[in-house]
Amino acid sequence: MIPLLLITLSVIFFAGTVSAADEAIFVNGSSGLDTNDGYSWSTAKLTIQNATGTVNSNGVVTIADGVYSGTGNTNITIDRNMTIQGLSETGTILNGTGTNWIFNITAGVNVTLQSLTITNATARTFGAINNNGNLTVENCTFTHNNETSNLVMSYGGGAIRNSAEYGTIIVNLTNCTFEYNHAARSGAAVLNYCDVAGNYVISTVTNCTFNNNTADIHATFYNAAYGGDIISEIANCTFTNNTAGIGGGGAIANFASYSSVKSTITDCNFISNNANMGGAIYSYANTQVNFITCIVTNSNFINNTAINGGAIVITRHSGILNLTAHFNRIVGNMATTGSAIYNGGGTVNATGNWWGSNADPSGQIFGLVDYSPWLFMTINATPDTTNNTQTSLITVSLNNYSTDGSSSSPVDPNLGHIPDGVPVTFSLIDGPLGTLGSQTGFINGTASIIFTANAVGVQHVNATIDNENRTATITINPSGHVNITKTADNYTPNYWDGVTFTITARNEGPDDVEGLEITDILPNGLTLISADTHGFGSYNSGIWNIGNLANGTTAILTLFVNATSTGTFTNWANVTAQTTYDPEPWSQDNTIITVPSAADIAVEKSFYDYEGDYEITSANYWDVISTRILVTNNGPDTATNVVISDIFGSGLSFADEWWVKWDINDWYWNLNDASFDPATMTWTIPSLPAGQTAALDIMTNLTSTGTLHNYAELVSSETYDWNHTNNNDTAYLTVPEASYLSIYKEFRDLPWGNVITTAYYNDVIYAIVQVKNQGPDTTSVSILDTMAGIVWTGNYYVLSNVGSILPTPSSWVLNDPVNTFNGTNWNIPFLNTFIGSEKWLAIEGIINTTGINAASNHAETVDQNTYPYKGYANYTANLTTLAAPTSIIVDDVRGNKGDTVTLSATLTDHNSDPVVGAMLEFWVDGVKVGESNTGSNGTATFNYQITETPGNHTLKSVFNGNTFYQGINTTGNLYVPSANLYIVITSDKNNPTVGETFTLRYKLGNNGPDTADNVTITIPLPEGFVISKIEGDGNWTVNGNTIIWTMNNVTVGDPYLYISGWTTGPGNYLFSASIASDTFNINSMGVSSLTLNAQPTVNAATTTNTVGMQTTGTPIVPLALAVISVLCGLVATRKNNKRI
């Protein structure tokens, strides 16, 4: 299958033509799949056969543009009602490729085909479509289709075969084209076949074209009734160059055997068709029991050829055969016998036809044919006598009957006429004495053309239709037209001005004009001074008698007049007589002269108060007053569209308001009346009657001092002003000196510093006052200044500045002795009006309050020596004052648990000044432990006894703020130190004998993390141990059998104490110690005790260097040491000491 063209967006639009009530199946040969559901273009079917087999009854199959052929797209049987439509007639092509047919429509099925091209289909019994049902074909093209067998008379239909063998069928073909189709038997394009009695083929063909089709036996369109009946109607169709071979009817053939055919042909064209019998139409009745009725009206039979019956043949074997042919054009057909009609045995009524000429047409007929009367050509000119440049309507008519070829009688075209569009040729035989216009089409049996004469004489006009020529005669008489024009040298003269009228009379031809008279009578208000005819006739009492005026000649009349009245005057000049025919209405022309009214317009100018009640000669600067214009019309006529211009002198400014009074004697003023344009300062008075005065008051600002003036003048007037001496006036006004002093207030951090909108409590700020002379005059000024929430320090600065000069800090004068300030009043003796002239006051103050806009400075003018035209200015600046930011410095503290330490914090403000009398809270590890007020230096202290465990602790001081100072808190560190003290006791002899000297080593260690302060180690010695020597680090004391070893601090390290001695008796001796320190002792290792086993001596006579203790009785020495220890408190538990 040939790949299809890609589908464009138009496919989507076409799908919209399917009724929502019908099922729609879409086919796309390039992208579809037969496994798709076909309900949209995106799920289209691939083949037509699958779509027609899928769609429900009465559904619509829409086929995308492309060429469809081969399996699935040909040899398709349709067994249900449906519509098959292509996307476009030229784009959707069903191709049988010369080997396949396209559709077989079964009986009882209603099928509609639309917008398809079916080509190259081939079969033995039909070409493209075999139809046994009801078929409608619209907007389709059938080309190069072929039926190949001539064995059976029911075979045929190179494009379409319609058969009623299973029941009556209805066939409708509309707007279709059949070209180059072929049938081996009959019906090169269409075969209608009915062979069952009682069945009908009802065929209607409209607006179709049949070109170049060939049937080997009968006809391009063949009605074959073999037992059944056929009703065929063909209208508005064209058959051109179609051929029937050995049979009849190059275009149409009707055949009946034991049946009937009724063939009606209307408004058709049969051109250059060819057959053996009946070049265009052939009808044959085969048996006695049959009827053929062929009715042909309003059709063209042109240049068809045959052996018999160049246009039409009817013949029979038996049966009833009728041909009725009326109002047809039968021209140029050729045959050996019967070049137009051949009657071989039927009844022919061929009256009322056009046979190509007015002559008797019997020579074009064979057999018995009723042809008389026939249509007859006539021509006439209306009118047949006319004047040069005029027209005559030439009409050719075939709405005439003739029985002899020389005379005729008219026929009502409503009863019938030959086809529209018959070619007619008009021509001028002699002269020519004119021209022919555009020819109308041949409609309803007539055609016409307009002849326009351009010369005098007799003109013959010929008309040709086919082989007939007819001539009309027109007599042309002379004519001439004189064209009048009238002009004036001044169409708007003033009263008593002169005006010259010029009247021209030109003969536009085409012929000379005789007896010419022109009338020009002056209206009242225009008075004739003189007239000049320039040699053409005479002028008297308004009549200009010219007489003869040759073709192309121009005559001139000049009238000199005065305007002796005001108003509008129309002066007419017109042709009132001529003896030569004028093809146009007699010419006339006029001039309209407008003499404007005259008036004396007087302008008066003055100044009035604001209300307009009284005239003034002086006013204050910046006052709004009225400048009044009075416009008086001293006559004699009403003045219209009077335009007055008002020109303000220096110091006058328009105040956006004005009042108009159209009559000074009226009481009502019109506010901002549209007659005055403030943009151009012009006042337009539409109408001012004579004797009336109009008034305009313009509201005006006085913008300078001194003597001011205002000028008004008349600019224009539609009414002629004959007196120009009073058209303008000037008014004068005195304005005394004045000044406006503007005041501006702000706050700054320095006189020459930055503008501030907020400040903190106790800040030093500067309240700035700016006074500026807005003019127009120099003045002195006194300004009252009031401050709230600010305490004046007694200092102020003054800056005198002009314009764009940038001040420097040195430009400010501290406590200026000229422009003095006393705390409330600032006196400036002289403030000029230079551009930007201004003075600045900076008042030094201290903020003593807080709040939004809590501080303010108000300044106002209280006196000046010029007129304060805008009153006294004042200005208030507000300053939001905030509680001052603060900061706290907390001193870090170190102390042992149980110690009393002093907690200290210092509070200052944002200026680093101490905050006195503020309550500070002290917190340790999130717990408030006390509070205290700050002193003069901003410091608060609190004595605190440490209860915290060793380590770092958060020390925080909190100030909760107050009206004037912001709250803040800051943390410090409370550190409680700790140590991890331990003692390891060793001996250089593990098992000494009694009396043998050995040395004990006490190793004191500190694993930190901190140095242990004031460490005391208590070493009790067991009874029976005698000290001989002590040495080591630190200090020690011996109290009996107890040694007190002390050290000021023990850093992380290993101090030692060495005790030498001996035992006095055998047995176990326990050596231990206890540790105490001011620093908290973690005591994770404690004291490692030592037990020694003293061995008895071998020699009892062994002596020592020391006197031994008694070995009997109570051990006096240890007991004495114990008593002394208790009495001295040595055995008491010390602070932060875990005794081992």
Which residue would you say has higher pLDDT here, 154 or 858?
858
Domain stop point among 918, 949, 977: 977
> Over the chain, what is the mean pLDDT?
90
Which residue would you say has higher pLDDT here, 693 or 991?
693
The pLDDT assigned to 555 comes to 96
| C-alpha span between 762 and 793 (Å, rounded) | 12
| C-alpha span between 802 and 839 (Å, rounded) | 8
Number of domains into which the chain is organized: 8
CATH number reported for the structural domain that contains residue 518 in this entry: 2.60.40.1530
* 772 Cβ contact partners less than 8 Å away, ≥ 6 residues apart: 741, 742, 743, 744, 836, 837, 838
**Do 705 and 770 belong to one domain?**
no
Judge whether 315 lies within some domain.
yes
**Do 773 and 871 belong to one domain?**
yes
Buried b (16+ CB within 10 A) or exposed e, 309-340: bbbbbbbbeebbbbbbbbbbbbbbbebebbbb
**Do 668 and 704 belong to one domain?**
yes
**Do 220 and 339 belong to one domain?**
yes
Task: Find the domain containing 399 and state its range.
Answer: 376-477
| Residue 95 pLDDT exceeds 90 | yes
Q: What is the 3-state composition of the chain as percent helix, strand, coil, each rounded to the nearest 5?
A: 5, 55, 40
C-alpha distances out from residue 132 to 154, 155, 200, 497, Å: 13, 14, 11, 100
| Residue 13 pLDDT exceeds 60 | no
Give residue 1103's pLDDT band: very low, low, confident or very high (50, 70, 90): very low
Judge whether 1116 lies within some domain.
no
CB atoms within 10 A of CB 492: 16
| C-alpha span between 256 and 230 (Å, rounded) | 9
Helix, coil or strand: residue 12: helix
**Do 654 and 760 belong to one domain?**
no
What is the DSSP annotation of 389-439? T-EEEEEEE--EEESSSS--EE--GGG--PPTT---EEEE-S---EEE-PP
**Do 894 and 875 belong to one domain?**
no
| Residue 367 pLDDT exceeds 70 | yes
Convert the pLDDT of each residue in 795-827 to its tens digit.
999 998 765 556 788 889 999 999 999 999 999
Give residue 289's pLDDT band: very low, low, confident or very high (50, 70, 90): low
Element of type H or E holding 1080: strand 1080-1081
Judge whether 589 lies within some domain.
no
Convert the pLDDT of each residue in 214-246 to its tens digit.
999 999 999 999 999 999 999 999 999 999 999
Largest CA distance in the chain: 204
**Percent of the chain, pLDDT > 90?**
74
| C-alpha span between 460 and 660 (Å, rounded) | 80
Domain stop point among 719, 735, 751: 735
* 805 Cβ contact partners less than 8 Å away, ≥ 6 residues apart: none
**Do 973 and 985 belong to one domain?**
no
| Residue 1023 pLDDT exceeds 80 | yes
Dig out the tokens for 112 from the structure: 């509609």
Tell me the average pLDDT across 1074-1096. Answer: 83
**Do 96 and 138 belong to one domain?**
no
Convert the pLDDT of each residue in 929-957 to its tens digit.
999 999 999 999 999 999 988 989 999 99
| C-alpha span between 273 and 291 (Å, rounded) | 26
- Cα–Cα nearest to 346, from 370, 329, 364: 370
Give a three-class secondary structure readout of 704-756: CCEEEEEEEEEEECCCEECCCCCCEEEEEEEECCEEEEEEEEEEECCCCCCEE
Domain stop point among 716, 735, 754: 735
Judge whether 85 lies within some domain.
yes
CB 86 within 8 A of CB 63: yes
Measured CA angle at 237 (ends 233, 240), to 5 deg: 125
- Residue 1121: CA count within 13 A, CB half-sphere: 19
The pLDDT assigned to 1033 comes to 86
| C-alpha span between 641 and 822 (Å, rounded) | 66
| C-alpha span between 311 and 340 (Å, rounded) | 5
Convert the pLDDT of each residue in 421-473 to its tens digit.
999 999 999 889 999 999 888 999 999 999 999 998 999 999 999 999 999 99
- What pTM does this model have? 0.51
**Do 293 and 155 belong to one domain?**
yes
**Do 958 and 998 belong to one domain?**
no
Give residue 1109's pLDDT band: very low, low, confident or very high (50, 70, 90): very low
Give residue 1070's pLDDT band: very low, low, confident or very high (50, 70, 90): confident
Burial class (CB in 10 A: 0-12, 13-18, 19+), 636: middle
Judge whether 694 lies within some domain.
yes
The pLDDT assigned to 5 comes to 31
Convert the pLDDT of each residue in 479-526 to its tens digit.
989 999 999 999 999 888 899 999 999 999 898 999 999 999 999 989
| Residue 19 pLDDT exceeds 50 | no
Which range is least confidently modeled, 59-68, 144-153, 350-359, 710-719? 144-153
Residue with tokens 């018995």: 368
Convert the pLDDT of each residue in 864-909 to its tens digit.
898 998 899 999 999 999 999 999 999 999 988 888 999 999 999 9
The pLDDT assigned to 1080 comes to 81
Give residue 1098's pLDDT band: very low, low, confident or very high (50, 70, 90): low
Give residue 674's pLDDT band: very low, low, confident or very high (50, 70, 90): very high
CATH number reported for the structural domain that contains residue 460 in this entry: 2.60.40.10
Judge whether 155 lies within some domain.
yes
Taken as a whole, the chain contains a residue count of 1140
CB atoms within 10 A of CB 949: 10
| Residue 1120 pLDDT exceeds 90 | no
**Do 862 and 897 belong to one domain?**
no
CB 763 within 8 A of CB 846: yes
* 58 Cβ contact partners less than 8 Å away, ≥ 6 residues apart: 22, 23, 81, 82
Tell me the average pLDDT across 1098-1103. Answer: 46
**Do 575 and 709 belong to one domain?**
no
Helix, coil or strand: residue 831: strand
The pLDDT assigned to 288 comes to 66
Judge whether 593 lies within some domain.
no
Which amino acid belongs to residue 781?
V
Helix, coil or strand: residue 580: coil
**Percent of the chain, pLDDT > 70?**
93
Convert the pLDDT of each residue in 696-742 to its tens digit.
999 999 999 999 999 999 999 999 998 899 999 999 999 999 888 89
Judge whether 1107 lies within some domain.
no
Which residue would you say has higher pLDDT here, 139 or 1065?
139
CB atoms within 10 A of CB 383: 12
Q: Sheet with 543-549: list strands edge to edge.
A: 538-540, 543-549, 513-519, 567-577, 588-595
What is the DSSP annotation of 448-460? EEEEEE-SSEEEE
CB 471 within 8 A of CB 429: yes
The pLDDT assigned to 583 comes to 83
Helix, coil or strand: residue 545: strand
The pLDDT assigned to 1053 comes to 65
